[in-house]
Structure 1
Amino acid sequence: MPNPRPSVGPRSRNHFRQRGFASSCALVLALTAVAAAAPAHAESASCAPATSATFSKANAPFLDWAENLGFDAQGNLWVSRLYRNEVQRYDSAGRVTATVPVTSPGAIRLGPDHQLYVVYGDNSLNLFPGTHDAGVVRFDPTAAAPVPEVFVSGLSMPNGAAFDAAGNLYVADTGSGVVRVRPDATIDADWTAQASRFGLNGIAVEGDSVYATVYLSPHGQIVRIPIDAPDQSATVANLSLSDDLAVGPDGLLYVATTAGSLVRIDPATHSTCTVLTAGPLSAVAVSPDGDLMVATGTGDVLRVDLAE
């Protein structure tokens, strides 16, 4: 989110950036230790391994942590650089062609109006009472110098986001659960109250269902939330350190884990299998040509070709 207090000088901004960086690092390390003690997911199906190639290299490993990925209507890839407080646009050759300032950015999603929607405030400091400077901004990705404007504010620690066919935006808020935002930017308080749950991270919509990852839990559940009955959520798989997820071209779920696996899940049968093993993975998105783009903990972005 653009700095609403221009009187804050560079020294103060760097101080808050360092605090956010340190607190987020501490949270990741603590959660990794907790999840490491939990049993890994059991493979219940076999699938052919995917192949991957590096699409873009990070300039500074970890500092360039890629928190999330998304595509605009022109097919350009956008990457959330959490600790740099910006989102970056890449061309097809993996070169940065634009940057837009957003504070602690998380999910990047193309809206029905062809604007890009980016959650901001994806920082563990926002889990503390009285520090909720978080929400969703949007901007025109085709503008010469995109300027983010606040779409919704007052959230806790928003991380994932996804639109449904009706244009409602679902935000995975780590501190409160799934927040349903109507196209007019008002929050559907009744629906949201029924989808309350702590520890969410990634989110995706497929048909009449919302799927979300519960990162802050020993088992890392993947839960299905019926859009018409948000109080009737059910676990479709347990997957430790499950971070982000996306619906693949085959209609199945693909989950990036910070344990280093890209896992395919069939929510109908609850079957899981690993299609790629790499370093810590933080995000996954489907490219216009059907490949998967996967972000790594170092900040590199991989293009993953799924086996037929």
Structure 2
Amino acid sequence: MRTSDTTRRSVSLLSRLCLAPALVLSSIAASAAGTGFDFGGMKLPPGFTATTYVSAEGFDPDQGAPGLPAIVTITFDSRGNLYFARTANRLREIYGSDSAPIYRLPVGPAKITPDTEGRFLFGPALPDPDEMAVNEKGEVFVSTSDRWKGYGSVYKLSPSGKARLFAGGPPAPGSPPLLKDPEGIAFDASGNVYVADDDLGVVVKLDRRGRVLNRKFISGHERFRTLTYDPRGFLWVGSDGRFDAPHADGSGRIYRANLADGKLRLLHSGPLASGMSLSPGGNLFAAQRRSGKIFALTPEGKRVEFASFGRQADTRTLAFPPDTEATRKAGIAGDLFVMVFPMLDYPVREIIRISGPFDEYVRQRQ
């Protein structure tokens, strides 16, 4: 379960979604509270452009500010559809809701208002979504948790949106829960599913049907949070740090695990990686929580600075769409999609699209 940072009442849920004119930036930043996100302070390298991809209005007429309150995770399927979820943890504080909806947006911008929201809803609302991932079949996996009941769950949604419990849920009487606070989800080439649990300090390995293969495929006294599959036979694992370390920037770690045996190799220490995604060229891009930065890690662990948001904005998560014929045809393959929010209006979040030569940029700075 994500711990709550300073929260304020949300100012809007979904406003119109438009593709803003591309800006060649040396910066992009957050606006003041109540006005959403603008392009004015986030520093990008030369040769990169940024546009607004998802934003919204009309869901909180009392406030009227643009943005997507409580959006917590984003992911893509092989056709380029964008999925995102709102977290009930945040919605509970704002609206008193215990469940949160999942959305699916087709390629390209969409206008989401209270009148059009229904066409983007995907499947049922789920209890406090944390992370999502889509496998090669277009099935959507969502990790959820219920801290009051003491267990977590992973749901699988079919491409049509039908949901069923995939793993976890209420344990048998007298048995410990398989999951307590599941977060990141990843798949390997065989379809096996990996789930990080930051409460138990493990990464659980399951087969494609949900049968447990190893309850402690990776284990340690750490808050494992984010997972990214590397087709070279590895799993990137982001940790919020050891249980006895402060939950703050500087305590995090990023590992690369060998899928043959789960053995971890520490590649980078310090950042809390709230979101990670592998570029088409095999470099890991990560959102550094509570610092307003995006950086890249090479397979050898060399850090390359990429973007910063200044003092008034931050990022929560990010994703590269899979590189497929469909995403290349749609023109989004190789682009990085980033959820951003202004620090002065924390619940209001938007998704921006960054385009440019990501892997060439990293190669030139190694």
Tell me if TM exceeds 0.5: yes
1:147 CA displacement = 2.8
CA distance in 2, matches of 1:193, 1:252: 24
Q: After superposition, what is the alpha-carbon deviation per residue over 1:49-79, rounded to whole angstroms, capped at 9, x for unaligned?
A: 7432211125478972322111124321001
Aligned residue for 1:93?
A: 109
CA distance in 1, matches of 2:5, 2:317: 20
Q: Which runs of 5+ in 2 are unaligned?
A: 8-44, 58-64, 92-99, 113-118, 170-178, 242-246, 322-326, 328-332, 342-347, 361-366
Q: Is the 8 A contact 2:56 2:111 kept in 1?
A: no
Aligned residue for 1:243?
A: 274
2:352 alignment partner AA = L
Task: Please tell me whether Structure 1 or Structure 2 has the larger radius of gyration of its CA atoms.
Answer: 2
Q: Is the 8 A contact 1:292 1:303 kept in 2?
A: yes
1:220 aligns with 2:252: yes
Q: 1:52 aligns with which of 50, 60, 81?
A: 50
Aligned residue for 1:260?
A: 292
CA distance in 2, matches of 1:186, 1:116: 17
1:94 CA displacement = 3.5
Q: After superposition, what is the alpha-carbon deviation per residue over 1:122-172, rounded to whole angstroms, capped at 9, x for unaligned?
A: x6x36xxx611x22111123x2xx231111114111111111101011112
1:228 CA displacement = 1.3
CA distance in 2, matches of 1:203, 1:27: 26
Q: Are residues 75 and 195 of structure 1, via their aligned partners in 2, closer, same or farther at CA, if it must alter by over 3 Å?
A: same
Matches within 5 A, 1:36-75: 50-59=48-57, 64-75=69-80
Q: Percent identity?
A: 20
Aligned residue for 2:175?
A: none
Q: Residue 107 of structure 1: SS of its match in structure 2?
A: strand
Q: Are residues 197 and 153 of structure 1, via their aligned partners in 2, closer, same or farther at CA, if it must alter by over 3 Å?
A: same
Q: Is the 8 A contact 1:136 1:151 kept in 2?
A: yes
Aligned residue for 2:19?
A: none
1:175 aligns with 2:199: yes
Aligned residue for 2:317?
A: 283
CA distance in 2, matches of 1:244, 1:66: 13
CA distance in 2, matches of 1:220, 1:276: 19
Q: Is the 8 A contact 2:205 2:217 kept in 1?
A: no
CA distance in 1, matches of 2:104, 2:46: 32
Matches within 5 A, 1:76-115: 76-83=81-88, 84=91, 85-91=100-106, 92-96=108-112, 97-99=119-121, 100=123, 101-115=125-139
Matches within 5 A, 1:104-253: 104-121=128-145, 125=147, 131-132=150-151, 134-141=152-159, 143=160, 146-154=161-169, 155-176=179-200, 177-189=202-214, 192-206=216-230, 207-216=232-241, 218-230=250-262, 232-253=263-284
Q: Which runs of 5+ in 1 are unaligned?
A: 1-19, 29-46
1:27 CA displacement = 9.0
The count of aligned residue pairs is: 258
Q: Is the 8 A contact 1:48 1:275 kept in 2?
A: no
1:178 CA displacement = 1.0
2:209 alignment partner AA = D
Q: Residue 162 of structure 2: SS of its match in structure 1?
A: coil
Q: Is the 8 A contact 1:102 1:120 kept in 2?
A: yes
- Give the TM-score normalised by structure 2: 0.64
1:267 CA displacement = 2.7
Q: CA RMSD in A?
A: 2.7
Aligned residue for 1:39?
A: none
Greater share of residues in helix? 1
Aligned residue for 2:11?
A: none
1:25 aligns with 2:4: yes
